[in-house]
Amino acid sequence: MRADLSPRGRAANLERMARETFDAVIVGGGIVGAGIAREAATRGLDVALLERCDFASGTSGKTSRMVHGGLRYLRDLRVGLVRTAVRERDILLRQAPGLVRPVAFTIPSYDGRGEQPLVLRLGLWLYDVLSRDKALPRRRWLAPAQVTDREPGLQAAGLRGGGLYHDAVTGDARLVVHVLRAAADAGAVLANHAEAVQLLREAGQVVGVRAIDRPGNRTLDVRGTVVVNATGVWLDRLRDAARGTLRPTKGVHVLLPRDRVGNQGAVVLRAKRDGRVLFVLPWRHLTLVGTTDTDYAGDPDDVVPDAEDVMYLLESVNEAFPEARAIREDVVSAYAGLRPLIRTPSRRSESDLSRAHAIFEDPDRLISVAGGKLTTQRAMAEEVVDRVAARLSRHAPSKTRGLPLGPPPDAQEAFRALGFADPDEAHLCARHDPEAIRPWIDEPGSRDRIAQGAPHLWVEAIVAVEEEMALDLADVMVRRLGLFYELPDQGIAVAPAVAARLARHLGWSPARVREEVQAYGDLVDRHRRFRGSHGT
Ligand SMILES: Cc1cc2nc3c(=O)[nH]c(=O)nc-3n(C[C@H](O)[C@H](O)[C@H](O)COP(=O)(O)OP(=O)(O)OC[C@H]3O[C@@H](n4cnc5c(N)ncnc54)[C@H](O)[C@@H]3O)c2cc1C
């Protein structure tokens, strides 16, 4: 059954949360919490999930947008990690063809810099061996002229050839929303903008959480036999601040006009300063470049790109694509996320910290999970729910390996039947289930574009609120639509019109509309601080 993820559905969910006792209460609506909710609900467990801000507002909405095995981890022979990740990549490609699409990466090899051809060829061979049954094309080795045929903008001096291999990309926040939709349709009870502020204990055992419903301005106790802490970099706030489970590192990305960078497809680069691996990905008319990786000890609630982060990325792109000459003012948008990496006793550098995940079961019965990757969420969820099910003595096998996710395979025909043609049809197919769009297409202007130069339609703003639990302007502009990342002014010009449209669905007063627009403007300003005084 299709769950109600409208504001009414959210209110009803909170009522249920206050009333019922669940098998599991999940705290955190990033990809990990979402994956656990889907895994648990599809095994028949009663679950509630609370997210303090918006779904995917943490790390899961600020990634490199890759569904990948992590070729570079093979350098450190982390074969197990890569094997799991390529398996999960292949599962996602099968399950969610609308949301996850294959991409060919060119990885150039230069004289005396980065990986030399023999090492690279060996790495690519092993990467293929680890996913023998994959549907993706196998690796190829390219002569220098073939590399420059594929990527004419790349630095040609010293080029010794290059590898060509395939991984996949996804809209990270869209993936989270679809995993949550699947969880809700399987029975999970969800609420965003509802923060777990305290663990409830009885006889020293965790039996639930006290939560604050921010928009409703009320406190409720949500009870569960098991509580799962999937709060990413905020893990120790709920678990126990003294433990210091995590060592977060900051990762920054920039989006630049693609014609400025000059890349044709996806390219793997080496950073100019320290030789770290960077990715350059085509993203519609833009190019996504990332990422940095630096220790972060600041406030996780206020992580934004700074000038140094942006320069690090730009100088690397400019070295690899000498004609690019990109400067700060060319950056369309920049964002920063924190990796919830597990602290280890060693003094390893940031880039060397393990990307593996860890599950902690405390004496008070709280289960916490952190680390891992967007790509490996399903496998992590399977492990966590095995433990939850063992606690409940409810052993049910996992089904998620075989369950479809996101827009169904016949989405194209369904959108055509609703009167959409390309390019709108292709745009919708990659983001929505036709069942979400259908009820809202007769609203006035719903088939029109929101902004020139971006494919997003007004119906998507309505769907964000009515079908995807978006509750404020930033939820819609940043995470549901992505206009924050893609429009040259990051959506400042259309924000008042979008807010006015949302007002009809969310019952906002004119004063609230103004507040929402102001708050959105502040968010954009904070993300443009790296431009210095010439910023906005
Ligand atoms: C720069 C960068 C690039 C990356 N790129 C990739 C990539 O390309 N591919 C890939 O596979 N992986 C990538 N990763 C890794 C991946 O993004 C993360 O491992 C993953 O998103 C972590 O998800 P999470 O759910 O644990 O954390 P989060 O997404 O941060 O989710 C935790 C959620 O918990 C909520 N929360 C916190 N406290 C509370 C509370 N008290 N009550 C309720 N809710 C609460 C937060 O608001 C947040 O939404 C990248 C990571 C970074 C930083």
Quick: pLDDT tens for 54-70: 999 999 999 999 999 88
Ligand 1 centre and the CA of 231: distance in Å? 8
Coil, helix or strand at residue 408: coil
Q: Tell me, what's the pLDDT at 46? A: 98
Binding site membership of 53 for ligand 1 (Cβ less than 6 Å): yes
Ligand 1 centre and the CA of 149: distance in Å? 37
Ligand 1 centre and the CA of 339: distance in Å? 7
pLDDT bucket at 534, cuts 50 / 70 / 90? very low
Ligand 1 centre and the CA of 365: distance in Å? 23
Q: Tell me, what's the pLDDT at 432? A: 97
Binding site membership of 300 for ligand 1 (Cβ less than 6 Å): no
Would the pLDDT of 344 be above 80?
no
Would the pLDDT of 486 be above 50?
yes
Minimum CA distance residue for ligand 1 atom 18: 373
For residue 34, which phi and psi values (nearest 5 degrees)?
Answer: -60, -45
Q: Tell me, what's the pLDDT at 535? A: 41
Q: Tell me, what's the pLDDT at 135? A: 87
Q: Tell me, what's the pLDDT at 345? A: 61
Which residues pair with residue 229 across a beta bridge?
A: 27, 368
Which of 81, 234, 295 is the pocket-test mutation for ligand 1 (most atoms within 8 Å of CB)? 234
Minimum CA distance residue for ligand 1 atom 50: 63
DSSP H or E stretch at residue 67:
strand 66-67
The half-sphere exposure of 406 on its side-chain side, counting CA atoms within 13 A, is: 24
Average pLDDT over residues 344-359: 63
Q: Give me the chain's average pLDDT, please.
A: 94
Q: Name which of 54, 10, 25, 60 is nearest 196 in CA terms.
A: 25
87 or 347, which is more confident?
87
Whole-number Cα distances in Å, 499 to 214, 227, 441, 458, 480? 19, 36, 19, 12, 14
pLDDT bucket at 283, cuts 50 / 70 / 90? very high
Binding site membership of 30 for ligand 1 (Cβ less than 6 Å): yes
| Other C-beta atoms lying within 10 Å of the C-beta of residue 304 | 18
How many residues in the chain? 536
Q: Which pair of tokens denotes residue 349? A: 């550098």
Binding site membership of 235 for ligand 1 (Cβ less than 6 Å): no
Given a contact cutoff of 8 angstroms between Cβ atoms, the answer to whether 180 and 29 are in contact is yes
**Which atom of ligand 1 is nearest the CA belonging to 293?**
1
Ligand 1 centre and the CA of 355: distance in Å? 12
pLDDT digits (tens, 9 = 90+) for 140-170: 999 999 999 999 999 999 999 999 999 999 9
> What is d(CA 124, CA 116) in angstroms, rounded to the nearest whole number?
12
Average pLDDT over residues 173-194: 98
> What is d(CA 55, CA 10) in angstroms, rounded to the nearest whole number?
13
**Which atom of ligand 1 is nearest the CA belonging to 253?**
1
Binding site membership of 195 for ligand 1 (Cβ less than 6 Å): yes
Given a contact cutoff of 8 angstroms between Cβ atoms, the answer to whether 480 and 460 are in contact is yes
Buried/exposed 332-344: b ≥16 CB within 10 Å, e otherwise: bbbbbbbbbbbee
DSSP H or E stretch at residue 37:
helix 31-42
Average pLDDT over residues 454-478: 98
Binding site membership of 369 for ligand 1 (Cβ less than 6 Å): no
Coil, helix or strand at residue 423: coil
Would the pLDDT of 348 be above 60?
no
Q: Tell me, what's the pLDDT at 514? A: 98
120: CB partners within 8 A, 6+ apart: 107, 109, 163
> What is d(CA 336, CA 157) in angstroms, rounded to the nearest whole number?
33
> What is d(CA 458, CA 418) in angstroms, rounded to the nearest whole number?
15
Preceding omega of 344 cis (within 30 degrees of 0): no
Preceding omega of 423 cis (within 30 degrees of 0): yes
| Other C-beta atoms lying within 10 Å of the C-beta of residue 425 | 18
Q: Name which of 403, 400, 386 is nearest 24 in CA terms.
A: 386
Q: What's the burial of 184, exposed, middle or buried (CB within 10 Å: 0-12/13-18/19+)?
A: buried
Q: Tell me, what's the pLDDT at 400? A: 97
Q: Which amino acid is at 177?
A: V
Percent of the chain with pLDDT over 90: 87
pLDDT bucket at 177, cuts 50 / 70 / 90? very high
Average pLDDT over residues 88-115: 94
pLDDT bucket at 240, cuts 50 / 70 / 90? confident
**Which atom of ligand 1 is nearest the CA belonging to 65?**
8
Q: Tell me, what's the pLDDT at 153? A: 97
Ligand 1 centre and the CA of 116: distance in Å? 34
Binding site membership of 229 for ligand 1 (Cβ less than 6 Å): no
> What is d(CA 529, CA 354) in angstroms, rounded to the nearest whole number?
31
| Other C-beta atoms lying within 10 Å of the C-beta of residue 121 | 16
Binding site membership of 27 for ligand 1 (Cβ less than 6 Å): yes
pLDDT bucket at 355, cuts 50 / 70 / 90? low
pLDDT digits (tens, 9 = 90+) for 390-415: 999 998 999 999 999 999 989 999 99
Would the pLDDT of 307 be above 50?
yes
Would the pLDDT of 242 be above 80?
no
Coil, helix or strand at residue 515: helix
Ligand 1 centre and the CA of 279: distance in Å? 19
pLDDT bucket at 341, cuts 50 / 70 / 90? confident
**Which atom of ligand 1 is nearest the CA belonging to 57?**
49
Would the pLDDT of 104 be above 90?
yes
Least-confidence region, from 72-86, 103-117, 290-304: 72-86
Average pLDDT over residues 122-132: 90
CA angle at residue 141 from 135 to 146, to 5 degrees?
A: 110
Which residues pair with residue 286 across a beta bridge?
A: 257, 283
Q: Which amino acid is at 97?
A: P
Q: Is the pTM of this model over 0.85?
A: yes
Average pLDDT over residues 188-213: 97
Would the pLDDT of 468 be above 60?
yes
Binding site membership of 175 for ligand 1 (Cβ less than 6 Å): no
Q: Which pair of tokens denotes residue 54? A: 């918006």
Give the rounded distance of the alpha carbon of 365 from its chain centre: 29
Binding site membership of 81 for ligand 1 (Cβ less than 6 Å): no
Binding site membership of 170 for ligand 1 (Cβ less than 6 Å): no
Average pLDDT over residues 112-135: 88
> What is d(CA 211, CA 196) in angstroms, rounded to the nearest whole number?
4
Minimum CA distance residue for ligand 1 atom 10: 374
pLDDT bucket at 346, cuts 50 / 70 / 90? low
> What is d(CA 385, CA 235) in angstroms, rounded to the nearest whole number?
18
For residue 412, which phi and psi values (nearest 5 degrees)?
Answer: -60, -50
Given a contact cutoff of 8 angstroms between Cβ atoms, the answer to whether 388 and 23 are in contact is yes
Percent of the chain with pLDDT over 70: 97
Which residues pair with residue 369 across a beta bridge?
A: 359
pLDDT bucket at 71, cuts 50 / 70 / 90? confident
DSSP H or E stretch at residue 195:
strand 194-202
